[in-house]
């Protein structure tokens, strides 16, 4: 698709800058200056069709995963547990974005969160005997609930990099929206999203690169313990998937994770930054937050710190094999390893998943760090070229 750039009029504030760049038929970039509430309102205007189409595709996929599972049923459950109300208390910035988006789309905030907190929906299916995180083909493995792989290198001065494959549902192949948001204080963050709803990586206001994975083993551990997914005491996981992009430092990321004792889902971030070692952080079903720093970090979909007896060679779409492949690559990598070499890893088995009907590689992303400037290079599939974005 030929690249088109649509300049948009000033919206919501007299100082706002707003632009939509449709890089390909699969990836759009929303550039916006203003508050998070105004950002939500704006995204709902310029990407309304993409978002509503995406919600409908998500709804249809839920029915394939587990007959009777749908967005309305999930949103009613979210209403009953007041997920949006809890988000307003725990994460005012995330709630402000959802509020603006809900007003713009004329949809209930809990309905949007039922999509945006998609791990909870998929885990609900998994524990009820339906599909977990969907397999590449129509057949699926109940023990294979996730697929992403992330790597990050320690900096050599200002130079560092990170990379990740976001492997998720086939509905996510379209409707990818990168939010390049400059807040009212002039600080810029990049948030990769699907349909403006599911954040899955990006760059913080402090120029830390965040590559995100689902902790498949922690969700499965909770399932084995008959633990509830949404409880009165659990903080909505949107806190973790949104608020980390407000961080100015590694310490801020840790504070975000440790702010609450219990979450509705389990995530890990593999992080790189100029003049810093690589970093990893996980939250767990046990309530522990694990943090480590080193010359490099690689992460598939199981804890780097807590071994579990059910994590075998088939678990989480061969999480162990992907971890080993990433480890072996990173042992000889450094801050100057080429993008081409990194892509050779990301685009080869066992890490590369292709694009199955129900599950596959949504994006393969390389982040190049030069001080506070980060260049981001997205690839969706072999029919589309690499898309370049920046945080500056």
pLDDT at 291: 98
- Please list, in sequence order, all residues whose beta carbon lies within 8 angstroms of the beta carbon of residue 390, skipping any fewer than 6 positions away: 373, 374, 375, 376
pLDDT computed for residue 354 by the predictor: 82
Q: What is the mean pLDDT of residues 138-142?
A: 46
Residue 285 has pLDDT above 90, yes or no: yes
Please say whether the beta carbons of 237 and 263 come within 8 A.
yes
Q: CA torsion 201→325→119→360, rounded to 10°?
A: 90
Omega within 30 of 0 (cis) for the link into 350: yes
Instruction: Identify the CA nearest to 285 among candidates 301, 307, 261, 320.
Output: 261
Q: pLDDT at position 319, please? A: 92
The mean per-residue pLDDT over the stretch 275-299 comes to 97
**Do residues 231 and 263 touch, judged by C-beta distance below 8 A?**
no
Beta bridge partners of 366: 163, 377
Residue with more model confidence, 66 or 38: 38
Is pLDDT above 60 for 134? no
The predicted pLDDT at position 146 comes to 62
With both helix axes pointing from N to C terminus, report the angle between 118-127 and 109-116 in degrees, rounded to the nearest 10.
70
Region of 307 on the Ramachandran plot (φ > 0 left; ψ -120 to 50 alpha; else beta): beta
Nearest alpha carbon to residue 127 among 142, 146, 138, 116? 142
pLDDT of residue 147: 79
Q: How far is CA 165 from the centre of its chain?
A: 11
Handedness of CA 356, 229, 209, 145 (dihedral sign): negative
Q: Average pLDDT of 359-369?
A: 92
DSSP symbols for 357-387: SSEEEEEEEEEEEETTEEEEEEE--TTSPPE
Residue 10: pLDDT over 70? no
Higher-pLDDT residue of 302, 145: 302
**Burial zone of 141 (CB within 10 Å; 0-12 exposed, 13-18 middle, 19+ buried):** middle
Enclosing domain of residue 361: 4-390
- Quick check: helix, strand or coil at residue 190? strand
Domain count, the chain: 1
**pLDDT-based confidence at residue 353 (cuts at 50, 70, 90):** confident
pLDDT, mean over the chain:
89
CA distance 268 to 119: 13
pLDDT in tens, 373-382: 999 999 999 9
Q: Tell me the whole-structure pTM to 2 decimals.
A: 0.91
Q: Which residue has the higher pLDDT, 4 or 145?
A: 145
Residue with tokens 């050779």: 344
Whole-number Å distance between alpha carbons of 193 and 29: 10
Average the pLDDT over each of 69-73, 190-194, 251-255, 259-263 and give the range with the smallest value: 69-73
pLDDT tens for residues 323-352?
A: 999 999 999 999 999 999 999 999 999 999
Exposure string over 189-202, b if 16+ CB within 10 A, otherwise e: bbbbbbbbbbbbbb
Distance of alpha carbon 145 from alpha carbon 177, whole angstroms: 24
Distance CA 384, CA 389 (A): 15
Euclidean distance between CA atoms 122 and 169, whole angstroms: 10
Q: Mutual orientation of helices 118-127 and 216-224 as an angle, nearest 10°? A: 40
Reading the block at residue 283, the tokens are 């939250």
Q: For residue 140, is pLDDT > 70?
A: no
Choice between 85 and 65, residue whose per-residue pLDDT is larger: 85
Q: At 50, which CATH number?
A: 3.60.60.10
Q: Give 123's pLDDT tier (boundaries 50, 70, 90).
A: confident
When pLDDT is cut at 50, 70 and 90, the band that residue 11 belongs to is very low
Q: Is 308 exposed, middle or buried (0-12, 13-18, 19+ CB in 10 A)?
A: middle
Q: Is the pLDDT of residue 196 over 80?
A: yes
Find tokens 């309304």 and name the residue. Answer: 48
CB-based contacts of 251: which residues, under 8 Å, 6+ apart? none
Q: Examine the pLDDT at 230 and tell me if it is beyond 80.
A: yes
Q: What was the pLDDT predicted at 290?
A: 98
Instruction: Give residue 129's pLDDT.
Output: 61
Looking at residue 127, its pLDDT comes to: 67
Instruction: Enter the tokens of residue 86.
Output: 């809890």
Q: What pLDDT digit, counting tens, does each position of 240-274 carry?
A: 999 999 999 999 999 999 999 999 999 999 999 99
Does the pLDDT of residue 12 top 80, yes or no?
no
Task: Compute the average pLDDT of residues 11-38.
Answer: 84
Interval 159-186: pLDDT, tens? 999 999 998 877 889 899 999 999 999 9
**The pairing of beta strand 176-182 with beta strand 27-33:** parallel
Helices and strands of the chain, counted as H and E runs: 12, 16
């Amino acid at each position: 698709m030929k690249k088109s750039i649509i300049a948009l009029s000033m919206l919501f504030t007299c100082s706002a800058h707003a632009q939509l760049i449709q890089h390909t038929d699969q990836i759009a970039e929303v550039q916006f200056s203003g508050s998070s509430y105004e950002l939500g309102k704006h995204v709902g205007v310029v990407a309304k069709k993409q978002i509503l189409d995406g919600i409908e595709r998500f709804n249809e996929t839920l029915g394939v995963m587990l007959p009777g599972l749908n967005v309305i049923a999930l949103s009613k459950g979210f209403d009953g547990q007041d997920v949006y109300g809890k988000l307003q208390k725990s994460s005012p910035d995330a709630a402000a974005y959802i509020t603006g988006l809900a007003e713009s789309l004329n949809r209930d905030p809990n309905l949007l969160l039922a999509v945006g907190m998609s791990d909870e929906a998929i885990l609900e299916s998994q524990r009820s005997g339906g599909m977990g995180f969907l397999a590449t083909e129509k057949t699926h493995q109940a023990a294979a609930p996730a697929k992403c792989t992330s790597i990050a290198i320690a900096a050599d001065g200002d130079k560092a990099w990170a990379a990740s494959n976001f492997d998720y549902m086939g509905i996510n192949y379209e409707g990818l929206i990168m939010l390049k948001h400059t807040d009212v204080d002039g600080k810029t963050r990049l948030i990769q999203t699907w349909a403006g709803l599911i954040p899955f990586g990006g760059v913080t206001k402090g120029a830390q690169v965040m590559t995100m994975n689902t902790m498949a083993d922690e969700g499965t551990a909770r399932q084995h313990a008959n633990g509830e997914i949404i409880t009165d005491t659990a903080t909505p996981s949107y806190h973790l998937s949104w608020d980390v992009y407000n961080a100015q430092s590694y310490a801020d990321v840790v504070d975000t994770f440790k702010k609450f004792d219990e979450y509705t889902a389990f995530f890990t971030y593999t992080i790189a930054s100029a003049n810093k070692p690589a970093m990893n952080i996980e939250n767990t079903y046990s309530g522990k937050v694990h943090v480590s720093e080193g010359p490099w970090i690689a992460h598939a979909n199981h804890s780097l710190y807590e071994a579990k007896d059910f994590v075998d060679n088939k678990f989480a779409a061969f999480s162990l094999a992907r971890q080993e492949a990433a480890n072996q690559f990173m042992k000889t990598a450094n801050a100057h390893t080429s993008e081409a070499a990194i892509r050779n890893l990301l685009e080869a088995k066992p890490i590369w998943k292709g694009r199955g009907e129900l599950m596959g590689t949504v994006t393969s992303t390389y982040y190049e760090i030069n001080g506070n400037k980060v260049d981001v290079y997205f690839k969706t599939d072999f029919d589309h070229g690499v898309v370049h974005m920046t945080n500056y």
